[in-house]
Amino acid sequence: MIRSFLVAAAITAAVPVAAQAALSGFHDRAEQITTILQSTDVANTARQAPIESLEFDGQRNDRLLKWEADFGECDLDIYLQAHAPQGVGKTTYTVARIQADDDCR
């Protein structure tokens, strides 16, 4: 009986920790934006132009997250790959692909 109680208590105590480990939608989206803004590939593809706008365009069938970035005359479609943590932690992102319009070349 005591053993069952200890197992149940351990499971109950672990649930809030797992729930607290997940980032809020705000912080997860901020992680995605930070990945884009820190990308040397994005900056070089945009010819180091200042960013005018950044808009999330959704998740594609291939699970990549699509962002549209406006750098004045140069527009980019930026695709992020999500990397789930090994255990407790936050999801991180990398730039998987960049598609530039003709004005970026």
Q: What is the pLDDT of residues 23-33, one digit of tens each?
A: 789 999 999 99
Four-residue CA torsion sign, 77, 43, 32, 87? positive
Segment 62-91, tens digit of pLDDT: 999 999 999 999 999 999 999 999 888 899
- Architecture field, domain 23-104: Roll (3.10)
For range 47-66, the mean pLDDT: 96
For range 45-63, the mean pLDDT: 96
* pLDDT of 36: 98
Whole-model pTM?
0.77
- Identify which of 38, 35, 78, 34 has the alpha carbon closest to the alpha carbon of residue 55: 78
**Structure-block tokens of residue 37:** 């803004």
